[in-house]
Amino acid sequence: MNKYETVFIVNPEVNEEGIKALIQKFSDIINNDGKVLEVEEMGKKKLAYEIKKNKEGYYVVINFESNPELIKELERVYRITDDVIKFLTISKEEK
């Protein structure tokens, strides 16, 4: 299993319960084929540039271990989730 870090930005108009539900949804997807190591909610921050007419977004970072095939499924779910305005998943290589 490889280590990864994913960051997703949630629409700032989503309430706290909605954000918790999204974090749970993505954690469940990861836990099906891997293991969530840490979830860090960074809160609402100003965006560097406007995304989908939003000037700020709610940032969430998840560190996890999984097989590489999971990344494709996770990013597919990000794309079809309307409240996620941006996402990025990177591999964390141990050195």
Which domain covers residue 77, as residue numbers? 14-91
Q: Is the dihedral of CA 13, 18, 24, 30 positive or negative?
A: negative
Whether 9 is covered by a domain: the verdict is no
Q: Check which CATH number belongs to the domain holding 23 and give it.
A: 3.30.70.60
Q: Is 8 within the bounds of a domain?
A: no
- Give the count of domains, the chain: 1
| pTM of this prediction exceeds 0.85 | yes
pLDDT band of 4, cuts 50, 70, 90: very high
Asked if residue 32 is part of any domain, the answer here is: yes
Report pLDDT digits (tens) over 43-81: 999 999 999 899 999 999 999 999 999 999 999 999 999
For residue 33, tell me if it sits in a domain.
yes
Q: Is residue 44 part of a domain?
A: yes
In a domain, 6, yes or no: no
- Mean residue pLDDT of the chain comes to 93
Whether the pLDDT of residue 95 is over 70: the answer is no
Angle separating helix axes 16-33 and 69-80, nearest 10 degrees: 160
